[in-house]
Structure 1
Amino acid sequence: MKQLLAKRQTGFTLIEVMVALAILAVVAVAASRASSAYLNSVDVLRTSTLAHFVAQNIAADIRIQQTIVTTNSTQTLNSQGREWQVVMTVSDTAIPASPALKQVNISVAPIIDTQVRKAVTNIDILVADATQDTGSLDLAGVSNSGARL
């Protein structure tokens, strides 16, 4: 009988197993949330990068074709494997001596499930109207902040 009592069974109790499973569950949930956040940030960065490519391509097309952009416009296009809404806003430049220069803001927003999302990139370009006299611009007396010296 002493021999039977001396031989204790070794192993884990039910409580120890349940505590280990609870810790494992908490770690699994945390890892799942971290990987979900990582995948979401990768998707946001990818969308932003592709939108910037679309905006740069539109700006290059305007410059290459020497298009005169005079009015605001909105267009939908399929590029980079996605659908995008491109909004071009035309305004006068801060340079009053040259009315032939126009500032064009190109804003690109993804279209997901036929809904236009928030714009993810904006770029500004200067466009010169070749039909107008651009005049001469004297920048010798202008500092970087735009104030006269």
Structure 2
Amino acid sequence: MTVEAPPAVSYGALVPVSVHFDDLDALGLLHNARYPLLVERAWVAYWEARGVGFEGDWAAAGDFCNAVKELRIAYDAPVTRTGGYAVHLWLERLGTTGLTYGFRFCSADGLTTYAHGTRVLVRLDPGTLRPAPWSDALRSAGRELLPPRD
């Protein structure tokens, strides 16, 4: 299934995703466990479009050697059909070793929100699996995803 690129958002990034038949539950609704999966796929697509790959090598992963500390999600409206949707991604906080990103699972045009939430990641040292600082490259790229501050 081909998904067209969604329109621009005022901050962060709007990344197209597809909902398939096997993502739906027995009642024909997008299964609650699929929302975080689709958000994760949107993040991978976002970074891969910027030349960052995911090979599974902890030492080579750099900033992508990280772990989820917390995931919060609220479901606003049911998704009842397969097809093209989008995930709006942004950074809420970029700390020394952790970051919080926000997301909205939404219609392809970004106008209807079906679910929203946050996820906290901690950057890990590949040898010790203890918190480690984010690189300057990630900090620079991450600034593009921060919402404007009043």
Could you state the TM-score of these two structures normalised by the residue count of structure 2? 0.33
Task: Specify which structure has the higher proportion of helix.
Answer: 1
Task: Specify which structure has the higher proportion of strand.
Answer: 2
Task: State the structure with bigger RCO (CA 8 A, min sep 6), 1 or 2.
Answer: 2
Greater Rg over alpha carbons, structure: 1
Could you state the TM-score of these two structures normalised by the residue count of structure 1? 0.33
